[in-house]
Chains A and B, each alone.
Chain A
Amino acid sequence: MKPRQRRLAAVLGGLALLGLAAALVLNAFQSNLVFFFSPTQVAAKQAPLDKTFRLGGMVRDGSLKRRADGLTVDFVVTDAAKDIPVTYTGILPDLFKEGKGVVTQGRLGPDGVFRATEVLAKHDENYMPPEAADALKQAHNEGAAKLRAERASKSLVTGK
C-alpha cells in the first residue's frame, strides 16, 4: 500500500467506526431524545408521570372550551388511539386550532387531567394557498359523503 492509500483507509475506517459509535449512542439515548410523549405513551405509563413532561398530539375536533374568565381553556389531546384532557391558563399561539398539532408542557394531575404551563402549536410540512386548502376540504367532505351513500345503498341491497 502506498502511504496515500494507507491514509485513505485510515480516514474511511475512522469514519466507519465513528458512525457505528454514534449509532450506538443515539440508540441508547433514543427515549431521552423525544421532545414530547403521545397520549398512547402516557396511557402506557412510558412518560415520567411524577414529573413535568411534554404531551403532544392533535387537538380533538369540538373539544376546545373557553371558561368564563376568558383565559383558561380546556381541550383534549388525542393521537386517534387515546385521549388526554388538558387545561391551560394563558395565551394560545396563533396556529392553535382544533384538528391541528399541539405540544403542551405540564403535569398530569391525579384526576387524569393534564395541567399545562406552556402550549406550543405544531404545524405540518404542507404549504398551500387557502383556495387549495378549501378545495381539499371540500373534496374530502364530498368523498366521505359518497362513501356513506355507497355504504347505505349496499346495505339496502343486501338487506343488512
Chain B
Amino acid sequence: MFSNFFSFASPQAFYPVAGRMIPWFGWSAALLALAGLYIGFFVAPTDATQGESYRIIFIHVPAAWMSMFIYLVMALWAGLGLVLNTRLSGMMASALAPTGAMFTFVALWSGALWGKPTWGTYWVWDARLTSELILLFLYLGYMALKEAIEDPQRADRAGAILALVGVVNIPIIYFSVQWWNTLHQGASVSLTKAPSMAMTMLAGMLVMALAAWMYAIAVSLARVRAIILERERGRDMAWVRSMVNA
C-alpha cells in the first residue's frame, strides 16, 4: 500500500491526480464560504460589547489560522525535500508560499480595519501584530530567495533552510498573547479550553476556516501543476510535451 502511495511522489504521477482533485476542493471552498458568510452575516447575533464590527472575525481568524498553518505545512514539505531529495516536495513548498502570504496579508489588513473601531488604532507594535508581520516578510523572503536562484534544486535547498529557520516564529505568534502583555486579546478558541464565544458565532467561524482550507488546497494544487510543467519541461519528458501541446 505504501509503495503505491509513494508513487505519487513522482511529479508525473501526481500531475493528473492533482488535476482530478482540484474541482472537488474548489467547489467545497465556494459552498462552505457561502454558508459561512451567510451564518456570519445573517444568523450570528450582534456582539454585546463590539456591536457589528466583531463580524470581521469571520474573515480575520480563519485567515490568521491559515497563515500560520500553511507556513508549518510549507516548512514540512521543504524539510522533507531536504531530507529525502524528492523533487515534488520543493514544488509543493513553492506552491504553498503565495497562498500563505496572501492569508497573512488578509489577516493583517482585516486586523487593522478591526482595530480602528475597537481599540482605536489601526496598528500597534505589540508582540502579536509584530510577529505576524514578520511572518509576512518570511513568506516574501522565501519566495524572493527561490526566484533568485536559477537552478531549481539549489533553490529548493536554500529555500528549505530559510523556511525551517522561520518555523521558530510560529509558536511565537501563537503564544505571544500568553507570554507577554499585548493589546491583542487572548485566543477565543483553543484545544485546551472551551471556546468563549456564542455557538452560532463559533459555527460561522469554523465553517469559514474550513472554506479557507479547501481554497488553500485547491489553489496550491493548481499552482503545483503549473510548477511541475515548468520544471519538468527541461527534463525533455515526452509526457510534459504532450501536456503543453495539448
**B46 interface hit (Cβ, 8 Å):** yes
Stretch of A61-69, A120-128, A138-146 on the interface side: A120-128
Q: Which of A82-139 contact B (CB under 8 A)?
A: 92-97, 100, 103, 118-134
A8-B83, A15-B164, A127-B198 given; A95·B185 CB < 8 A? no
In the complex, the answer to whether B118 meets A94 with C-beta atoms within 8 Å is yes
Q: Which 4 A-B pairs have the closest CB atoms?
A: A93-B120, A129-B45, A133-B48, A35-B126
**In the complex, which residues 82-124 of chain B have their Cβ closer than 8 Å to any Cβ of chain A?**
82-85, 117-121, 124
**B156-198 toward A: CB 8 Å interface, digit per residue (1/0)?**
0000000011011000100000011111011110000000111
Q: Is the CB of B50 within 8 A of A130?
A: no
**Contact among A34, A56, A127, A131 with B201 in the assembled complex (CB-CB below 8 Å):** A127
B→A interface (CB under 8 Å): 45-50, 54, 57, 79, 82-85, 117-121, 124-127, 164-165, 167-168, 172, 179-183, 185-188, 196-198, 201
Assess the B49–A123 pair: CB atoms within 8 A.
yes
Q: In the complex the two chains form, is B50's CB within 8 Å of A123's CB?
A: yes
Q: Quick one: closest A residue to B121, CB to CB?
A: A120
The answer for the CA separation of A96 and B186 in the assembled complex, in Å, is 18
- Complex Cα distance, B50 from A35, in Å, reads 22
A19 in contact with B197 given A95-B50, A123-B50 (CB within 8 Å): no
Identify B181's interface contact among A36, A93, A96, A132, CB under 8 A. Answer: A36
A129 contacts which of B181, B188, B198 (Cβ < 8 Å)?
Answer: B198
Distance in angstroms between the alpha carbons of A95 and B198 in the assembled complex: 20
Taking a contact as CB atoms under 8 Å apart, the answer to whether A127 and B168 are in contact is no
Residues of the B chain whose Cβ atoms lie less than 8 Å from the Cβ of A128: 47-48, 197-198
The reply to whether A93 and B196 form a contact with Cβ atoms under 8 Å apart is: no
- How far is it, in angstroms, between the C-alpha of A15 and the C-alpha of B169 when the chains are bound? 12
Cβ of A37 to closest chain B Cβ, rounded Å: 8
- Complex Cα spacing A33 to B129, Å: 12
Q: Please, how many angstroms separate the alpha-carbon atoms of A119 and B84 in the complex?
A: 53
A contact residues vs B (CB 8 Å cutoff): 4, 7-8, 11, 14-15, 18-19, 22, 26, 30, 33-38, 56, 92-97, 100, 103, 118-134
A85 to chain B, nearest CB (A): 20
A97 nearest CB neighbor, chain B only: B49
| A103–B118 alpha-carbon span in the complex (Å) | 12
Complex: A51 Cα to B83 Cα, angstroms: 51
B196 and A121 form a contact (CB under 8 A) = no
Contact status A19-B168, CB under 8 Å: yes
Give the shortest distance, in Å, between A145 (CB) and chain B (any CB).
22
Report how far A103 CA is from B124 CA in the complex, Å.
11
With the chains together, A92 CA to B118 CA distance in Å?
A: 11
Q: Are the CB atoms of A130 and B118 closer together than 8 Å?
A: no
Q: Are A33 and B198 in contact (CB under 8 A)?
A: no
- Chain B residues lying within 8 Å of A132, measured Cβ to Cβ, are 48, 198
Q: Tell me the nearest residue of chain A to B186, going by C-beta.
A: A125
Q: A35-B182, A121-B118, A131-B45 are in contact. List 16 more A-B contacts (CB 8 A).
A: A4-B83, A4-B84, A18-B167, A33-B180, A94-B120, A121-B119, A121-B120, A123-B50, A123-B118, A123-B185, A124-B185, A125-B186, A128-B47, A129-B45, A129-B48, A130-B48
